[in-house]
Chain A
Amino acid sequence: GAVVSQHPSWVICKSGTSVKIECRSLDFQATTMFWYRQFPKQSLMLMATSNEGSKATYEQGVEKDKFLINHASLTLSTLTVTSAHPEDSSFYICSASSTRAQYFGPGTRLLVL
């Protein structure tokens, strides 16, 4: 399957700071990427759809001003958690979508102190 990288894999930050997570599609161009959040022992919760060259589409209940998404190229999407708070601590996963399937990055564990 296709390879998707995600960086960083782990981040610990202080409350009030912003954190940027990068998602890269390494071997195919993805016009669409997705960002998920996953709580322990639960399924993936879709946060937003990232479209190259246009604004992201956010799921209901997700604050677009808090979770900024930029899909600047066909291989890179970034998620910035602005003014992070402890309740934002979670596991964030991105995926790059092809006509065949979605391929997932390894995830980023965010801990906000």
Chain B
Amino acid sequence: AQTVTQSQPEMSVQEAETVTLSCTYDTSESDYYLFWYKQPPSRQMILVIRQEAYKQQNATENRFSVNFQKAAKSFSLKISDSQLGDAAMYFCAYRTAYGGATNKLIFGTGTLLAVQP
């Protein structure tokens, strides 16, 4: 069975600085998707970024980028120029590629990010 591990329960960053959140996963599959979701205090889950395992190029979305290391099964999220609105719980998630939309997400335990002004 697949597992997702986030080893940092809490992180803190100064406004305008850069922070990296760690995520590792375990799978025997070769084709899958990885996600970072953000859950602010409103508790709305927001998709931050998506990575397809067959793509070697790291995904980027504005200030958010990932470092995807398939061999090491590592998928870290880098937030550049941190803003107060980035303060949230961040969840790393895995989904198998086989079966399409019917597949469930496997979540990590989350990292609570605080942004200091």
Interface size on B, residues (CB 8 A): 23
Please name the residue on chain B nearest to A38 by beta carbon: B43
Residues of B within 8 A of A106 (CB): 42-44
Question: Roughly how many angstroms separate A30 CA and B102 CA in the complex, as a whole number?
Answer: 10
Query: Would you call B47 and A101 a contact (CB within 8 A)?
Result: yes
Query: Would you call B102 and A32 a contact (CB within 8 A)?
Result: yes
Whether A107 contacts B108 in the complex (CB less than 8 A), given A44-B91, A98-B101, A101-B35, comes out as: no
Residues of B within 8 A of A104 (CB): 37, 44-46
Main secondary structure on B side of the interface with A = mixed
Residues of B within 8 A of A99 (CB): 100-101
> CB-defined interface of B43-70 with A at 8 Å, one 1/0 digit per residue?
1111100100000000000000000000
Which residue among B33, B50, B107 has the maximum number of chain A CB atoms within 10 Å of its CB? Answer: B107
Tell yes or no: A75 within 8 A of B by CB: no
> CB-defined interface of B79-117 with A at 8 Å, one 1/0 digit per residue?
000000000000100010000111111011110100000
Question: Roughly how many angstroms separate A41 CA and B41 CA in the complex, as a whole number?
Answer: 11
Point out residues on B near A: beta carbons under 8 Å: 33, 35, 37, 42-47, 50, 91, 95, 100-105, 107-110, 112
25 contacts between A and B (CB under 8 A): A30-B101, A31-B101, A32-B101, A32-B102, A42-B109, A43-B108, A43-B110, A44-B45, A44-B91, A44-B107, A46-B104, A46-B105, A49-B102, A49-B104, A93-B43, A97-B102, A101-B33, A101-B35, A102-B47, A102-B95, A102-B105, A103-B47, A104-B44, A106-B43, A107-B44
